[in-house]
C-alpha cells in the first residue's frame, strides 16, 4: 500500500517525480538515481542517471508498481550522459515523455520519446528539440488543448549559460540586486515534438510588482518548474535550490507573469527538492522526494507523496515534510 510521506518504492532510488492521472490511475515519472561513490559538486556530477522507470498506482490504497525500464540513454542517439528529471503527457492517445540530457558536447537539451502506453517503452526522436536547452521539462496541456513546456535549472542545469540565446561557457555572475533568471516556457507544436516559437523567460514578481532579485534566495527560481491550474488560475511552483524550499507564484496566463505567493514545503533531508502537483478524485497531492531512504546521500533519493490543501483564497497551505 502506498502510504503518505513514505517512499513509494525502495528497491531502486527514485527522484524528481512527475505525477499524472491517466485512465483513473496515477502514473509517476521519476528519474532513477544510480548508486556510486563519485563526488558531489555544484555541476551535479553526482547525478549519473541513465534510464527511466515508470511507477503506477491503481489508487492511493494500492501498492506502487514499478513497470520496468521505459527508456535508456543508449537508445537516444544524441545523448552522452545524465538523463535527469522527466515529464510525460498524453495527447490523442499517444504518450510523450520529455527528458533532459547532455549531448555529445556536454550541453543539456530536451528530448522527447513517444509510446502508445503510459508505461512505455518509449521510442525517442533521433535529435533533441530544436531551440531547447537546460533541464527539468514540465508540460501543461491547457483547457483549450494548447501545450506549454516549462524548463530550466541553474548551476549544473546550465541555465545561466544561455542568457544571450547562445551557449556561453563562462558567463558573468548575475548581480544580487539584478532580476533573477526565471524558467523558460515555449508553446509546443500540435504534434508535441517541437517548439512552435522560440522559448521565452518567465517573469516572477514580488508583492510590489517588481521582479524577484537574484540575491533573494528564499524566493527566486532555481530549478524544477511545475504548472497546474486551480480555480482558473495558473500556479507556477518551483525549487529555490540553495535554500531548499518548494514555493509557488500565481498568474492569469500560462506564459506569465506570475506573482510570488509563498512556500509549499519546507526543506527535506538531502540537498535537492523537486516535485509535481496533481488532482486525483477531488483531492490534490504533492509528489516530492528526499534522501531519507539512503540516510541523506544526495544522489540516492526516494519519491513520496502527501495531500496538498488550499485555503478559501486559493493559497496553498504550507507543509513541513516530517509532520502530518
Q: How confident is the model at residue 44 (pLDDT cuts 50, 70, 90)?
A: low
- What does the mean pLDDT of the chain come to? 95
Average pLDDT over residues 48-60: 95
Catalytic annotation, residues: 16, 223
- Rounded-to-integer distance, Cα 324 and Cα 110, Å: 36
Whether the CB-CB separation of 125 and 111 falls below 8 Å is answered with yes
Q: Does 272 score more than 90 pLDDT?
A: no
| pLDDT score, position 275 | 98
Please write the tens of the pLDDT for every residue from 78-124. Answer: 999 999 999 999 999 999 999 999 999 999 999 999 999 999 999 99
Please write the tens of the pLDDT for every residue from 195-221. Answer: 999 999 999 999 999 999 999 999 999
Burial 200-222 (b: 16+ CB within 10 A, else e): ebbbbbeeeeebbbbebbebbbb
Residues 6+ apart with CB under 8 A from 75: 124
pTM (2 d.p.): 0.97
Q: How confident is the model at residue 48 (pLDDT cuts 50, 70, 90)?
A: confident
Please write the tens of the pLDDT for every residue from 275-295. Answer: 999 999 999 999 999 999 999
| pLDDT score, position 41 | 57
Q: Name the more confident of 174 and 271.
A: 174
- Rounded-to-integer distance, Cα 85 and Cα 152, Å: 11
The torsion angles phi and psi of 288, rounded to 5 degrees, stand at -150, -175
Q: Are strands 138-141 and 258-265 parallel, antiparallel or unpaired?
A: unpaired
Helices (H), 62-135: none
| pLDDT score, position 35 | 75
C-alpha triplet 167, 172, 178: angle, nearest 5°:
110
Q: How confident is the model at residue 298 (pLDDT cuts 50, 70, 90)?
A: confident
Average pLDDT over residues 228-235: 98
| pLDDT score, position 45 | 67
CA-wise closest residue to 149 among 254, 269, 44, 70: 254
What is the grid cell recorded at 274?
Answer: 523537486
- Rounded-to-integer distance, Cα 22 and Cα 250, Å: 26
| pLDDT score, position 141 | 98
Domain map of the chain by residue range?
Answer: 13-308
Whether the CB-CB separation of 109 and 133 falls below 8 Å is answered with yes
- Rounded-to-integer distance, Cα 57 and Cα 161, Å: 39
| pLDDT score, position 2 | 82
Q: Does 40 score more than 70 pLDDT?
A: no
DSSP state of 243: G
Q: Does 1 score more than 80 pLDDT?
A: no
DSSP state of 192: S
Q: Name the more confident of 297 and 8.
A: 8
Residue 167's CB is within 10 A of a number of other CB atoms, namely 13
Give the end-to-end CA distance of the chain in Å, rounded to a whole number. Answer: 18
| pLDDT score, position 147 | 98
Average pLDDT over residues 222-249: 98
Q: Does 234 score more than 80 pLDDT?
A: yes
Residue pointed to by grid coordinates 498568474 = 251
CATH architecture of 13-308: 5 Propeller (2.115)
Residues 6+ apart with CB under 8 A from 37: none
Q: Does 47 score more than 70 pLDDT?
A: no
Q: How confident is the model at residue 39 (pLDDT cuts 50, 70, 90)?
A: low
Q: Does 42 score more than 60 pLDDT?
A: no
Q: What are the percentages of helix, strand and coil residues in the chain, rounded to 5?
A: 5, 40, 55
| pLDDT score, position 307 | 98
Whether the CB-CB separation of 24 and 82 falls below 8 Å is answered with no
| pLDDT score, position 34 | 86
Amino acid at each position: 500500500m502506498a502510504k503518505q510521506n513514505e517512499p513509494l518504492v525502495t528497491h531502486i532510488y527514485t527522484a524528481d517525480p512527475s505525477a499524472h492521472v491517466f485512465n483513473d490511475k496515477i502514473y509517476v515519472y521519476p528519474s532513477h538515481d544510480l548508486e556510486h561513490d563519485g563526488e558531489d559538486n555544484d555541476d551535479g556530477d553526482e547525478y549519473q542517471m541513465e534510464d527511466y522507470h515508470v511507477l503506477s498506482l491503481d489508487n492511493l490504497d494500492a501498492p506502487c508498481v514499478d513497470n520496468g525500464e521505459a527508456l535508456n540513454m543508449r537508445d537516444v542517439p544524441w545523448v552522452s550522459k545524465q538523463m535527469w528529471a522527466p515529464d510525460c503527457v498524453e495527447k490523442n492517445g499517444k504518450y510523450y515523455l520529455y527528458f533532459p540530457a547532455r549531448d555529445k558536447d556536454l550541453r543539456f537539451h530536451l528530448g522527447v520519446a513517444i509510446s502508445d502506453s503510459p508505461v512505455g517503452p518509449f521510442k525517442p526522436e533521433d535529435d533533441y528539440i530544436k531551440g531547447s536547452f537546460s533541464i527539468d521539462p514540465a508540460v501543461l496541456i491547457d483547457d483549450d488543448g494548447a501545450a506549454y513546456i516549462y524548463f530550466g535549472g541553474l548551476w549544473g542545469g546550465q541555465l545561466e549559460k544561455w542568457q544571450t540565446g547562445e551557449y556561453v561557457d563562462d558567463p558573468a555572475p548575475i548581480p544580487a540586486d539584478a532580476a533573477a533568471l526565471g524558467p523558460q516556457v515555449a508553446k509546443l507544436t500540435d504534434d508535441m515534438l517541437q517548439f512552435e516559437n522560440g522559448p521565452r523567460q518567465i517573469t516572477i514578481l514580488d508583492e510590489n510588482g517588481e521582479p524577484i532579485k537574484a540575491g533573494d534566495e528564499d524566493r527566486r527560481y532555481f530549478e524544477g518548474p511545475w504548472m497546474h491550474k486551480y480555480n482558473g488560475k495558473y500556479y507556477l511552483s518551483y525549487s529555490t535550490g540553495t535554500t531548499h524550499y518548494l514555493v509557488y507564484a500565481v498568474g492569469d496566463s500560462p506564459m506569465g507573469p506570475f506573482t510570488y505567493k509563498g512556500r509549499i514545503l519546507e526543506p527535506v533531508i538531502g540537498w535537492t527538492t523537486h516535485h509535481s502537483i496533481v488532482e486525483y478524485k477531488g483531492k490534490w497531492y504533492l509528489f516530492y522526494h528526499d534522501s531519507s531512504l539512503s540516510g541523506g546521500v544526495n544522489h540516492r533519493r526516494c519519491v513520496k507523496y502527501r495531500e496538498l490543501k488550499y485555503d478559501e483564497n486559493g493559497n496553498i497551505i504550507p507543509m513541513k515534510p516530517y509532520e502530518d
